[in-house]
Structure 1
């Protein structure tokens, strides 16, 4: 009897399983893969450049919609990429390096184009195998003001800049930068590199993208006593450079000779004595219409300039006075290593924490809007086109 009941039980189980399988096959349909266009671009989209340390050969660029509070997609970006958005917001440009066997083999340097409406790869420009490979910076790949030329920083370790015609997708020239690095654009026909002496080298180009003039400035950064961060913030046609000790100085490279503003301090004497200073990977951001300057600040010692900010300090650039001080811990936000701000009339402040979270705050009040977990890492860059 036991054998019969067990047999009957097994038979019933198998019959039930067969019925379930048959029912599943009856209702399941093959999955269809589709490609949808992204929503129309708006000012609350932000790109996160993630160089994927310690595996730098597999960088990615994430597109995040702060209004929808979701990731929209990603762009593959190779080894230690440079990244820039075209002035019309339609195309992303990635300057990067690929090796035939991942981390070694034949090297190919390239500028890759991506359609921002679909994130489809739309073309490439082969460039000399000299592309600078370092932590992200807004100025290792940049556009001229009119968007007709692209500048790619090279380090071999000799420093130079590759000049590219965007329309024809051709390399126009390579400019020797005399050991000065990066490319800060000024107008349609010139760019500037920073030199280890604290000077700036500005190169002017002709209609064919060839060098016609270069001007070396006097030192405007004291590299021995108070070095400046390279991630300067654009403002009123020039740039705002912030130093490790919290001094700010404007630089305008558009004229025949560069113009440098009088340095001013982010700190009072008492705050400086307490050890407050800027810090992180991308320390500052500007909202030009509001004349607001956002700075990631922390308490630290002489070597803490890379430490993320525990507070965001906000300044009025017209009066050079602080108008707000946001303690991130009060909103349970981790220290922020990179900041960026949208340029619209309802601006958002974006921050990347040391724990790889993307923070979205109201740029007028500092109120937390959202935290997106695990986007990029501490060697990331925020780009808001």
Structure 2
């Protein structure tokens, strides 16, 4: 008898649950899943490239709203990517590698175009499987001034640059750079690569994207005594290169031959003796409207050029004078590996710490606004559209 009662109760309960479920299905509308659009473009959107050394095939570019400290989305970026944003801010380009078996197997190199309003991939171009697999640099993947040509630096270890037509989504050419690396664009039809001799190789393209002419400069970097960081800061066709020992030299790549400025020091003789010098992965940032150069500085010795910054020094490019010195510890900011600054009239300063926190500060005063904790695993490059 007890068993019958239990069976009856179970059957009654099951019927009640089924009836309730049927009622819910009849009265509730099905939920539609949608993909939200990105907020309207803001000069304070910042892209953080995470190479993720703990999972090398799974790099990403994260998008943050630096005003609200809000995480907006991400772009998948494959293995050791290069990253660039179009001049009109509408498209991001990732040059990367995929392997058929995840971390091994047949290799395919591609350039992927992403719509920055949706963060959806809109197209891809298969490129020669040679793209430089290195810590991201602003110039291992870069765009011409008009956005027509995308330059992808190659190392196999032979060096070259793949030229991609962004309008037709086709490879236009591959330019042999003869031992020189990276691609520093100038204007809409030329780029310059840096050579191990300290010289600069400038290549001019024709309308079809193929090499039209080239010219090799005299040495402008003393690679033996004072090497330069490759992550130069840019204003138009002019680049400012900081050196390991704390000097700066400009290079104007707009003409048939580069025009180099006179080197000037970031440090006084006493500061040099105390070991002050630039360091990190992205060592300088330039606010073009005010011509202020931000430099990540640390105290070290020969070989410490990758060490993070304990201070940020701000210089006037016109006078070469230091106008501010921010001691990060005073605001409990961890040492910085990479820095960047927005280009608007009310600029923000960005920094990546050794623990992949993204620091946002007022670029005029250095006052901390907020910290976005641990963006990615090994974030290394900041890109401001």
TM-score by length of 2: 0.93
Q: 2:281 is matched with which residue? A: 281
Deviation per residue, 1:266-315 (Å, 9 max, x gap): 00111111111101000000001011000000111111110110101000
Shift of 1:54: 2.9
Q: Secondary structure at the match of 1:218?
A: coil
Q: Where in structure 2 are the equivalents of 1:99-118 lying within 5 Å?
A: 99-118=99-118
Is residue 281–residue 379 contact of structure 1 (8 Å, CA) maintained in 2?
A: no
Task: Identify which range, 40-49 or 27-36, moves more after superposition.
Answer: 27-36
Q: 1:179 is matched with which residue? A: 179
Shift of 1:195: 0.6
Q: 1:382 is matched with which residue? A: 382
> Take 2:63 and 2:236, find their aligned partners in 1: how far apart are those partners?
27
CA spacing shift, 1:200–1:90, aligned 2, 3 Å? same
In structure 2, the gaps of 5 or more residues are 1-8
Q: Where in structure 2 are the equivalents of 1:1-385 lying within 5 Å?
A: 32-385=32-385
Is residue 160–residue 174 contact of structure 2 (8 Å, CA) maintained in 1?
A: yes
CA spacing shift, 1:34–1:236, aligned 2, 3 Å? closer
CA spacing shift, 1:263–1:299, aligned 2, 3 Å? same
Q: Secondary structure at the match of 1:74?
A: strand
Q: Secondary structure at the match of 1:270?
A: helix
Q: Secondary structure at the match of 2:75?
A: strand
> Take 1:248 and 1:379, find their aligned partners in 2: how far apart are those partners?
26
Q: Secondary structure at the match of 1:77?
A: strand
Is residue 315–residue 324 contact of structure 1 (8 Å, CA) maintained in 2?
A: yes
Shift of 1:236: 4.7
> Take 1:100 and 1:238, find their aligned partners in 2: how far apart are those partners?
41
Q: Secondary structure at the match of 1:138?
A: coil
Q: Secondary structure at the match of 2:308?
A: coil
Is residue 236–residue 288 contact of structure 1 (8 Å, CA) maintained in 2?
A: no
Q: Secondary structure at the match of 1:105?
A: coil
Shift of 1:380: 1.3
Deviation per residue, 1:315-350 (Å, 9 max, x gap): 011110000000000100000000000000100000
> Take 1:85 and 1:259, find their aligned partners in 2: how far apart are those partners?
27
> Take 1:42 and 1:68, find their aligned partners in 2: how far apart are those partners?
12
The RMSD of aligned alpha carbons is 2.1
Shift of 1:208: 0.8
Is residue 79–residue 133 contact of structure 1 (8 Å, CA) maintained in 2?
A: yes
Is residue 202–residue 256 contact of structure 2 (8 Å, CA) maintained in 1?
A: no
4+ long deviations beyond 4 Å: 25-32
Matched pairs, number: 373
TM-score by length of 1: 0.93
In structure 1, the gaps of 5 or more residues are 1-10
Is residue 356–residue 378 contact of structure 2 (8 Å, CA) maintained in 1?
A: yes
Q: Secondary structure at the match of 2:270?
A: helix
CA spacing shift, 1:63–1:305, aligned 2, 3 Å? same
Q: Secondary structure at the match of 2:79?
A: strand
CA spacing shift, 1:54–1:250, aligned 2, 3 Å? same
Shift of 1:95: 0.5
Deviation per residue, 1:214-263 (Å, 9 max, x gap): 11111111111110000000025210000001100000111121100000
Is residue 197–residue 219 contact of structure 2 (8 Å, CA) maintained in 1?
A: yes
